[in-house]
Amino acid sequence: MSKKMLKRLIIASSVLCNYANAYSPKVSIIKVVEHEAINSVVEGIKDELKDEDINYDIETCQADPALGYQIATKFVNSKADVIVAIGTTPAQCVFKYAKSGKAKLVFSSVTEPSDISKNFANSNTTGVSNFVALKPQLELFKKLQPKLKKLGILYNSGESNSISIISKLEKECEAQGIKLVKQSIQQSADIPQAINKLKTKVDAVFITNDNTALSGIPFIVKACDKVKIPVYVSDTDQVAKGCLAALGPNQYEIGKQTGRMIRRIKNGEDINKINIEYPSNTELYINKAKAKELGVEIPKEVLEEAKC
């Protein structure tokens, strides 16, 4: 081989090496809707991976499966290294691609992973659920409202995770002598009429991990304030918006937990050997100003445990 040819090969190898070293993994994120809890998950992911060289592509499907599939297809065609689906609807949209080997799916803030699939074996899918046991939440509500008899819940009947929670919540309420009053919605625009109807029938309103209902928290709180009934949530980020209390995972920490999964995949770990995870802990938040406004007396033991 001539010296000239050898020199060319060395230059070409150097260019290829530099290209390989310059490659940044692509993490594409589909959010189910736009609201603070979902954005906190994204923030947690990015903060956990802040020292990593990663390109992000982030879109929202507005809880619309058709749009979710469109975004999922776009991300698959763009050769994303990992697709993160925040919420059940986008996770369902990406799953078929992951199962067929066209994508690696990491879901986040999904209440019921079984709503994505009953079997995740060799599906190139893992993730972090935000499920919190319902019994401790109801026990908290009764400590704050000992005379609580009717608990209202606003939920999107099109969100499978919400349907699953309703089924479990009905059983827990019955066991604790509470009547669950359900009010369904289909989209955010339905919230004003639905909450104005619901608030007249109950002693308190509970908003779980339903993304559509969570997007309307300010209006829900304002409507319930007019009749002096508290709003309870599972999302701790919403207490600052006027809800009385929340017992649940910190969505930012859910994001960091998700980020650690992404790092493991990025470092070469087989996604099919990474188990689905649940919140490592829950936090209790109490809005003392709202309690005073509503005339709710907070027991000492609750205050000692809470992050006010």
Per-residue pLDDT of the chain (308 residues; tens, 9 = 90+): 555 554 555 444 544 444 444 567 899 999 998 888 899 999 999 999 999 999 999 999 998 999 999 999 999 999 999 999 999 999 999 999 999 999 999 999 999 999 999 999 999 999 999 988 999 999 999 999 999 999 999 999 888 878 888 999 999 999 999 999 999 999 889 999 999 999 999 999 999 988 889 889 999 999 999 999 999 999 898 999 999 999 998 899 999 999 999 999 999 999 999 999 999 888 999 999 999 999 999 999 999 999 87
Within-domain flag for 152: yes
CATH number at residue 99: 3.40.50.2300
10 Å Cβ neighbour count for 64? Answer: 18
Q: Are residues 111 and 257 in the same domain?
A: yes
Laid out side by side, the sheet with 82-86 consists of: 55-60, 26-31, 82-86, 105-110, 125-129
Cα–Cα distance measured from residue 110 to residue 88, given in angstroms and rounded to the nearest whole number: 5
Overall number of domains in the chain: 2
Q: Are residues 178 and 301 in the same domain?
A: yes
Q: Are residues 43 and 116 in the same domain?
A: yes
Q: Are residues 234 and 294 in the same domain?
A: yes
Q: Are residues 180 and 296 in the same domain?
A: yes
* H or E segment to which residue 289 belongs: helix 288-294
Q: Are residues 183 and 151 in the same domain?
A: yes
Question: Residue 295 has which token pair?
Answer: 């005339």
CA distances from 99 to 28, 94, 117 (A): 17, 9, 10
Q: Are residues 138 and 126 in the same domain?
A: no
Laid out side by side, the sheet with 231-233 consists of: 179-185, 150-156, 204-207, 231-233, 245-248, 283-286
Q: Are residues 117 and 261 in the same domain?
A: yes
Within-domain flag for 16: no
Q: What is the pLDDT of residue 159?
A: 80
Within-domain flag for 189: yes
Q: What is the pLDDT of residue 222?
A: 97
Contact 244, 232 (CB under 8 A): yes
Residues near 178 by Cβ (< 8 Å), separated by ≥ 6? Answer: 138, 142, 148, 149, 150, 151
Within-domain flag for 68: yes
Structural domain range at position 62: 23-130+251-273
Within-domain flag for 190: yes
Within-domain flag for 178: yes
Instruction: Report the predicted TM-score, pTM, of the whole model to 2 decimal places.
Output: 0.81
Contact 151, 199 (CB under 8 A): no
Query: Pick from 110, 100, 105, 136: which is nearest to 246 by CA?
Result: 136
Q: Are residues 211 and 261 in the same domain?
A: no
φ and ψ at residue 135, rounded to 5 degrees: -60, -50
Cα–Cα distance measured from residue 240 to residue 231, given in angstroms and rounded to the nearest whole number: 12
Measured over the CA atoms of residue 35, residue 40, residue 45 and residue 46, the dihedral's sign is positive
Q: Are residues 143 and 202 in the same domain?
A: yes
Q: Are residues 288 and 143 in the same domain?
A: yes
Within-domain flag for 7: no
CA distances from 63 to 69, 164, 212 (A): 11, 17, 8
Within-domain flag for 147: yes
Q: What is the pLDDT of residue 185?
A: 95
Q: Are residues 59 and 192 in the same domain?
A: no
